[in-house]
Amino acid sequence: QLQLQESGPGLVKPSETLSLICTVSGDSIRNNSYYWGWIRQPPGKGLEWIGSIYYTGSTYYNASLKSRVTISVDTSRNQFSLKVSSVTAADTAVYYCARHRGTAAAPEDFWGLGTLVTVSS
């Protein structure tokens, strides 16, 4: 059964870099039918797509975040990761990893549980 699990620090200081890993189990991240992505949700607010990656390393980013975001993949560990640089309080959110079916921004058909990242000194 497919599982996605986010991991990483729950607290990040302003101006530093937020780093998260998503570990995929129950399927190979090399499955050529899927892209793998990150979505975030500030407390009490709506959803924002951050970006996604194919197992080959091809990436697609939300234009509004592109200058601060890096998504990478480690096929040997069946993981993909997210880095957001120069964070501020506005980056405080629950961060979800998810699977996109078919294309880089296709609807997310499977999600992790999410992890809350707070930006505070």
- Residue 94 sits at φ, ψ, to 5 deg, of -85, 125
Q: Within its chain, how far is the Cα of 2 from the centroid?
A: 17
**C-beta of 45: minimal distance to another protein in Å?**
8
* CA distance linking residue 105 with residue 109, whole number of Å: 11
Residue placing its CB nearer to another protein in the complex, 55 or 60: 60
**C-beta of 86: minimal distance to another protein in Å?**
22
User: By CB under 8 A, is residue 90 in contact with another protein?
Assistant: no
Residue placing its CB nearer to another protein in the complex, 16 or 94: 94
**C-beta of 13: minimal distance to another protein in Å?**
26
Residue placing its CB nearer to another protein in the complex, 10 or 46: 46
- Count CB neighbours of 29 within 10 A: 21
Query: By the 8 A CB rule, do 6 and 20 touch?
Result: yes
User: By CB under 8 A, is residue 65 in contact with another protein?
Assistant: no
Query: By the 8 A CB rule, do 69 and 62 touch?
Result: yes
CB-side neighbour CA atoms (13 Å) of 50? 27
**C-beta of 24: minimal distance to another protein in Å?**
15
β-strands 115-119, 11-12 pairing: parallel
Residues 16-45 that bind another protein (CB under 8 A): none
Residue placing its CB nearer to another protein in the complex, 16 or 104: 104
User: By CB under 8 A, is residue 55 in contact with another protein?
Assistant: no
